[in-house]
Amino acid sequence: MSLAQEKPSKTIDVTGQVCPYPLIETRNALKALTRDQILEILTDSEHSVFETIPMLCEKKGYPCENVPQGNLWRVYIKKTGDK
């Protein structure tokens, strides 16, 4: 099942923010989640969608999926561990 098809446990909106703020808010939101919960991020930052957030997920071992919506993206992250 696609992460985008699962119900997110938390949604954050970081539209209009530039690096490093989307990454900082993503990291803080993930800390508040428990294992197997989904974080949804709404952003207009291409850099965050294709570089910083995926690098964080790779480092933590969390699955990540982005869904384009016009000039915005919805990024879904599943917290799969307690890293």
Task: Please identify which of the residues 11, 13, 19, 81 carries the catalytic annotation.
Answer: 19
**57 is annotated as an active-site residue:** no
10-13 and 38-43 as β-strands: parallel, antiparallel, unpaired?
A: parallel
Task: Kindly give, in sequence order, each residue whose CB lies less than 8 Å from that of residue 16, ignoring residues fewer than 6 positions away.
Answer: 44
Amino acid sitting at position 77 = I
Catalytic positions, written as ranges:
19
